[in-house]
Structure 1
Amino acid sequence: MAAPIIFVDAWRLLVLAGLLWVALTLVIAVALLTIVAYRIWFHQLSAIPGPRLAAVSNIWLARHVRNGRVRELAKHLHSTYGPIVRVGPGEVWVNSEEGFRKIYGNGYEKSDFYLATALNKPRLNWWLNPQFPDTLDLLSEFDLTRYRLQRRLLGPVYRAHHLKQFEPAIDRVVTHAISELRAIGGDEVDLKTWMHIIAVECLGAVVLSWSPGYIANRSDGGTSTQSYLGWRRKSVFGLFPMITKLSFVSKSLGRAFSNLWGVTFATPKQFKPFFTPVYQRVSRRVTNALRHPARAQGKRDERSDLLTALIKLHKDHPQFTENYLRRMAVTNFGAGHETLCSTLTAAIAMVGCHPGVQSKIAAEVRALRGSIDYDSIDLVPYMQASIKESQRLYPVIGLSLSRKVPLGGTYLHGHFLPTGTAVGCNPTALHRNPDIVGTDPDTYNPERWLQKDGSAQVSRMERINLIWGGGGRTCPGRHLAELIVFKVVAGLLQEFNVEIASMPNEEDMPCYFMAMMTGVKARFIPRPRPID
C-alpha cells in the first residue's frame, strides 16, 4: 500500500507546484499590466504625446538607437507629435526655443544617461547611488561645482588667442595631408577615414608634438570604426541606467546585456589604438616634468605644445591637480578625435555635394594665397557659413543632450514635468526647426548664415543650437576644434576640387549618441596651381 500512497503524494505535490506556478505567472502578468497601464494612462507624463510603446519601456527607444536610426527618429517624432514628445517612461524630448532656454539656461544636472559614458568606475552605496572620483571627466561629470572649477581653471589655456600659437603645427599636418592626397591622384577614398586621419594627426601635433603616422600610412588602423562601435554600445547602455550601475559591480552582467542587445564587438587582431602611445607619452613627460626637475633642467624640453601649457597650469595653480593634468592631456584626444572627424566629414561632404558652394569657397580661399592664417577668418565668410550649415544639418550628437528636471518640477509647453524627468533637445530636430532656422530647414543653404548684420534669424541660430553643447556645459575645446576645422577645410579646398563619388541616404548612415556621416566616398582632384 505504501507505493500508491507515495504516488498520490507525489501527484499532489506536482499539482500544487503547478498551481503555484500558475499563480506566480498571474501575479507577474497582473503586475506587468498594472505597470503598463500606469505608465500609459496615469503617469505624470501620460498627457505628453508620443508613441504608446515608448511610454511603456526604454526598450522602444533603445531598439532605434541600437539600429542607428536616431537621426530619422528625431525628425519623425517632432513632425508627428509636436514640440514636446515622450520618448520613454521618464524621458521627454523638446524641440523649441522655450525648451532650449529652460533646459540649458538654468543649470539642470546631467541625466543618468551619462553613467554609460563615464571614464571611471564609481563607488556604489546600498541604494546604488554612484560616487565618482574627482579625476576630471568633463562629459560625464555630475557634480556641477566640481565641473565649474575645472572649466574655470582650464579657461585661459583654451582661449582662442592662446591656441593661435599652435597654427604652425596644424599647418604642417595639413601640408602633409595635401601631399599624400595629391599622390593618390584623385582615386576614391573613404571620407570619414581620411578626416579621422587628419583629426588625430592635428591633435597629436598640437597636444604632444607627435605624429601617429596615419597620414604616411594613409590609414587610421581602423580606430574610427572601433570607436564608433563603442558609441553604439554606450548609447544603448545609457538608456538603462540601472543595468549600467549593476555592470559597474559585475562585468559578467554587462557582457550578458551587451550580447543580448547585439552591441558586443570584437577587437581585431594586432589592432593598435592611438590611445596607447598617447598615454605613454603623456605619462613620461608629466613624470619627467614633475618628478625629475633636475633631469628636465639638464636636458631642457624645447617643445611648446598644449601639454607644455597644461603642465605649467598645474605648477601655477595646484588646484589643477596632477590627476587633472594627466586626464586633460588625454581628454584632448578622447573628446576631440571623433567630434573633429564628424565635423570635418560633414563639412567636406556637403561642399562636395554642392558645386556652386564649392566654387564660392574656392574663390575665397585661393584669393588668400599660400598659408591661411586664422586672423584671415573674416575674409572667408562663405566658407565659415558652409561649415556652420553642415554642423546644423549633421551635428556631432545624435541623441538628446538630456538633463534632469530639478526639485519642484517644471512646466514646458503646458505640460508638467516632475522632478527627475530626463528632458533635453535633440540637435537634429532643434537645428531643423523652421521657427529657429527659417524656411527650407532640411536644405543645405550657407546663405542663411549670411544675412545682414543684426538679422534676428542669424542671431537666433547662433544662440539656439547644440553644435558645441548647451548652456554652461559647452565644449571647453571649442576654440581648438574651430581652429583645426578652419585650417583643414581651407587648406583642402584651396588645393583640391572635392567630388563625392558615393553619398548614402541619411537612413543608411548609422547614428548613435555620437553621430557621423559614414560610407561617403570622395575624390580629391588637385586644382591647377595659380600662376603668379
Structure 2
Amino acid sequence: MVEVLSAVGRLCLLSVSFIVIFFLTIAAYRLWFHPLAKVPGPRLAAISNVWLAYHVRNGRARELGKHLHSVYGSVVRVGPTEVWFDSEEAFRKIYGIGKGYEKSEFYFVSELKAIGGLEVDLKMWMHIIAVECLGAMVLSWSPGYIKNRSDGGTSTQSYLGWRRKSVFGLFPTVTKLSFLSKTLGRTFSNLWGVTFATPKGFKPFFTPVYQRVSKRVNNALRSTNFPAKRDERKDLLAELIRLHKDHPDFTENYLRRMAVTNFGAGHETLCSTLTAAIAMIGSHPHVHRKVASEVRSVHGDGSRNNGSSIPYTLAAIKESQRLYPVIGMSLSRKVPAGGTSLHGHFLSEGTTVGCNPTALHRNQAIFGPDADIFNPDRWLRRDGPEQASVMERVNLIWGGGGRICPGRHLAELIVFKVVPALLREFDVEITTMPKESDMPCYFMAMMTGVKVRFQPVSEPVVMTM
C-alpha cells in the first residue's frame, strides 16, 4: 500500500513538474524567441492575454491605451500575438482599403423642460434619446423611455455586458467553447468576476424591436392570396422592405438583420457620442457660449447643408469624439499572408494588430502639441490645410479605412440634430464630472457618472466673438 501511494505521489509530482516546465517553456519562447519578442511592451503581456484581460476587466482600457504608448512609444506588444499602434503610418497600413486586413422638433426637448432643471444622469438621458431617435427613424415607434423619464436600466445592463464581452474577447477559444457549454461560460465568467445579475422585472427593448420588425416584414411580404395591409409609414424599415422587393438579392434574412442591427450597433455608440459631446461642451464654459450663440442664431437646427451654418458646433462634437471615442481598445486586424513591417518590426502572418483610438487620437504628431486638450478650433484652422486633412483622415471615430461604420451617416444625422437642439433650448450645467480613472472603460467606452442640469432658456444669446 505504501509503495502504491509512493508511486502515485511520484506520478503527481512528475505531472506537476511537466506542467510547470511546459508553461515555463511557453513563457520563455514568448519572451525571448517569439517573432514579436523585440516589440516593446510589458513583459507579462508578452506571456499571456491574462495581463490585458485583468486591466480591461477593471475598466482601465482608455487609461491603458494612453499610458502604454507614452511609456513604450508608437508600437506596443499587449499580448502574445497582439500589437497596438498609435501612428499615422500604422493607421494607413492597417486600415487602408484593399490592404487585406480582415475583419421635425425632437419631442424630448419638452420632456426635459418639464423636469425643471433637476440634476440627471447624463448617460442615461443620452441613452433615452438615442433609443427614442432610432425607434422613430427605423420603426416609427417609441419605447416609452421619454414618457417614463427612464430607460429601465438598459444602458447600465448593456455596459455591464460590455465588461464581460471585453474579457471574453481576449480568449477566442474559450468564447467559442462557451457557445457549446454554458457551464464553461459561467465558470469562466465567475472566475474573472464579470458575471452580473439581471434585475427582477427587467425589460430589454430588443424584444419589442424584434416583434415589430417581424410583424411588419411578415405583413409586407404576404403572398398574393393574402395581400398585405397598406402601410403608410415612411421610415427606414419601409425603405428596407422596398429594397428587398425591388432587389431580391437583398434577401429577407438580410432585411430582418439590417433592421435590428440599427438598434444593436447604434444605441450604445450613439449614447457614447452624445454623452461625450454634451459633457465636454457643458464642462468648458467658453465652448458652451460659442456653441449656444451659434445654434441660437440660425433657423432650425443648423444641420442642413452639411452643417455649414454651425461649423463651430460640429467642430466641438468632432473634438469630443476625438478625446472620448466610442471604442476604448484596439480595432484589431490580422496581418495578411506574407507579413508586414511597421516601425522597424516585422510582423508575421496572423499577428493581431491595430491602433488604439484613445492613444492615436492624442498623438501630438497628428493633432498638435495640445492633443490632450479639448480644443474645437483645431478642426477649423485654415493655416495648415495639409495637417487638417491628416486629422480628418487619421482617426477612428467611425472605424477605419475600408471597414468604416456603415451606419455612420444615420448616426451623424441624429447626433448633428440632437446636440444643436439641446444647446439651442438649454444651458447645460455639468454638476459632476468624474476623473477619467473613475469612468470604467472597456472595448466599448463611455463617460459614466456625469451629472447634469438642463436649464431651459427663453431668449437666444448674442455673443461678441
Task: Give the direction of change, closer, same or farther, for the CA distance of 1:363–1:377 in structure 2 (3 Å limit).
Answer: same
How many residue pairs get aligned? The number is 460
Residue 525 of structure 1, CA deviation: 0.6
Question: Partner of 1:121 in structure 2?
Answer: none
Candidates 356, 377, 401, aligned match of 1:426:
356
Q: Compared with structure 1, are the counterparts of its residues 371 and 20 closer, same or farther at alpha carbon in structure 2 (3 Å cutoff)?
A: closer
Counterpart for residue 51 of structure 1: 42
The corresponding residue for 1:451 is 381
Letter in 2 for 1:353: S
SS at match of 2:445: coil
Shift of 1:376: 6.5
The percent of aligned pairs where both chains have the same amino acid is 71
What is the rounded CA distance, in whole Å, between the counterparts of 1:468 and 1:515 in structure 2? 13
Matched residue, 2:114: 183
Q: In the alignment, what sits opposite 2:138?
A: 207
Equivalent positions of 1:432-471 (< 5 A) are 432-452=362-382, 455-471=385-401
Output the amino acid matched with 2:185. Answer: G
2:17 & 2:80 partners in 1: Cα distance?
Answer: 24
Contact kept in structure 2, 1:343 and 1:391, CA below 8 Å: yes
User: Residue 4 of structure 2 aligns with which residue?
Assistant: 13
SS at match of 2:196: coil
The alpha-carbon deviation at position 248 of structure 1 amounts to 2.0
What's 1:354 paired with? 284
Pair 1:285 & 2:276 matched? no
Distance, in Å, in 2 between the alignment partners of 1:293 and 1:237 is 47
Query: Is residue 2:75 matched to residue 1:79?
Result: no
Structure 2 partner of 1:516: 446
What displacement does 1:295 show? 5.2
The answer to whether the 8 Å contact 1:449/1:458 transfers is yes
Give the counterpart of 2:309 among 354, 379, 382: 379
In 1, are the aligned partners of 2:297 and 2:460 still within 8 Å (CA)?
no
Larger mean CA deviation between 390-399 and 444-453 belongs to 444-453
- Whether the aligned pair in 1 keeps the contact of 2:39 and 2:345 (CA below 8 Å) is yes
Change (3 A) 1:345 1:14: same
| 1:317 matches 2:308 | no
Partner of 2:344: 414
2:448 partner letter: T
Shift of 1:371: 5.0
Q: Which runs of 5+ in 2 are unaligned?
A: none
Q: Which deviations, in whole Å up to 9, do the C-alpha atoms of 1:392-423 show, x marking residues without a partner?
A: 00000001000001111111101011111000
2:302–2:309 Cα contact (<8 Å) kept: no
Assess if the C-alpha contact under 8 Å between 1:396 and 1:516 holds in 2: yes
How far residue 369 of structure 1 moved from its aligned partner, in angstroms, is: 3.7
Q: Which has the larger displacement, 448-457 or 519-528?
A: 448-457
- The aligned runs of 1:25-104 (5 Å cut-off) are 25-104=16-95
Whether 1:390 and 2:320 are equivalent positions in the alignment is yes
Q: Which has the larger radius of gyration?
A: 1
Of 372-381 and 90-99, more deviation after overlay is shown by 372-381
Per-residue deviation, 1:24: 1.3
2:245 corresponds to 1:254: no
Q: Which has the higher helix share?
A: 1
Residue aligned with 2:297, SS: helix
Aligned-pair distance for 1:98? 0.7
SS of equivalent residue, structure 1 residue 291: coil
Mark the CA change 1:65 to 1:391 in structure 2 (over 3 Å): closer, same or farther.
same
Q: Please give the root-mean-square deviation of Cα atoms over the aligned residues, in Å.
A: 1.4
Offset at 1:453? 7.2
In the alignment, which residue of structure 1 is the partner of 2:202? 271
Residue 429 of structure 1 and its aligned partner are, at CA, apart by 0.3
Question: Does the aligned pair in 2 maintain the 1:207–1:306 contact within 8 Å?
Answer: yes
Shift of residue 374, structure 1, vs aligned partner: 2.4
Q: 2-side partners of 1:530 and 1:392: how far apart?
A: 29
- Equivalent position of 1:7 in the other structure: none
Task: Output the TM-score relative to the length of structure 1.
Answer: 0.85
Q: Does the alignment pair 1:506 with 2:463?
A: no
Q: TM-score, normalised by structure 2?
A: 0.97
Question: For residues 222 and 335 of structure 1, what CA distance do their matches in structure 2 show?
Answer: 18
Name 1:237's counterpart in structure 2.
Answer: 168
Q: 2-side partners of 1:292 and 1:183: how far apart? A: 48
The answer on whether the counterparts of 1:395 and 1:515 sit within 8 Å (CA) in structure 2 is yes
CA distance in 1, matches of 2:226, 2:125: 39
Give the Cα separation in 2 of the matches to 1:376 and 1:17: 76
Give the Cα separation in 2 of the matches to 1:453 and 1:396.
Answer: 29
Q: Aligned partners of 1:470, 1:460: CA distance in 2, in Å?
A: 13
Aligned amino acid, residue 422 of structure 1:
T
Would you say the 8 A contact 2:168–2:174 is kept in 1? yes
Deviation at 1:529, TM superposition (A): 3.1
| Aligned-partner Cα distance in 2 for 1:90–1:81 | 17
Deviation at 1:365, TM superposition (A): 0.7
CA deviation vs aligned residue, 1:91-141 (integer Å, no higher than 9, x gap): 00011111001111144444xxxxxxxxxxxxxxxxxxxxxxxxxxxxxxx
Distance in 2, matches of 1:296 and 1:98, equals 57
Please say if residues 295 and 301 of structure 2, whose CA atoms lie closer than 8 Å, have aligned partners that are also in contact: no
Aligned residue identity for 1:219: S
Aligned to 1:74, the other structure's residue is in SS state helix
Please give the alpha-carbon distance, in whole angstroms, between the structure 2 residues aligned to 1:226 and 1:295.
Answer: 41
Distance 1:453 1:209 in 2: 45
Q: Distance in 2 between matches of 1:354 and 1:70?
A: 25
SS of the counterpart of 1:368? coil
Q: Secondary structure at the match of 1:387?
A: helix
Counterpart CA distance in 2 for 1:31 and 1:471 is 41
Deviation at 1:372, TM superposition (A): 4.3
Partners of 2:409 and 2:460 in 1: how far apart?
31
Going from structure 1 to structure 2, the CA distance change for 1:39 and 1:455 (only over 3 Å counts) comes to same
Instruction: Output one character per residue of 1:446-473: Cα deviation in whole Å (capped at 9) or x when no partner.
Output: 0000101761221111000000001111
Distance 2:268 2:36 in 1: 35
**Partners in 2 of 1:294 and 1:521 — Cα distance?**
56
Unaligned runs of 5+ in 1: 1-9, 111-141, 143-167
